[in-house]
Amino acid sequence: MATRAYIGNTSYSCTEKDLREFFAGLAIVKVDIVKDRDSGEARGFCFIDFGSAGDLNNAIARSGEELGGRQLVISEARAKPTGGRRDNSKRGGRDRGRDDYSETWKK
């Protein structure tokens, strides 16, 4: 079973220390606060890796509690989607949409 949790609706000023204090008593392995690529500011959600499935379940049970004046949304993290490519290898990798009529102009 996975032990990674999604924590949503965190305040933009929420720190790793705040999260560790909120989940005191649970074994936290890693905290990933998601930040904006350009500004470096928190985006309002994070991921936490817990030491066991039991700790993850205890964290999920706290969903709806407040931290920093905001009601947290806590759930098991889903796997990151693989950004699968369409099979364009036979066409030299060029992605042609349905409405690409460039071939008809060569006739």
CATH at 57: 3.30.70.330
Low-confidence ranges of the chain (pLDDT < 50): none
Tens digit of pLDDT for each residue in 41-64?
Answer: 999 999 999 999 999 999 999 999
35 found inside a domain = yes
In this prediction the pTM is 0.73
50 found inside a domain = yes
Domain that holds residue 64: 4-76
Residue 6 CB neighbour total at 10 angstroms: 16
Residue 69 CB neighbour total at 10 angstroms: 7
95 found inside a domain = no
93 found inside a domain = no
Q: How far apart are CA 26 and CA 55, in angstroms?
A: 6
Q: Dihedral angle at the C-alpha atoms of 37, 41, 42, 47, nearest 10 degrees?
A: 40
66 found inside a domain = yes
31 found inside a domain = yes
Is-contact 43 34, C-beta < 8 A?
yes
89 found inside a domain = no
Look at the chain and report how many structural domains it folds into.
Answer: 1
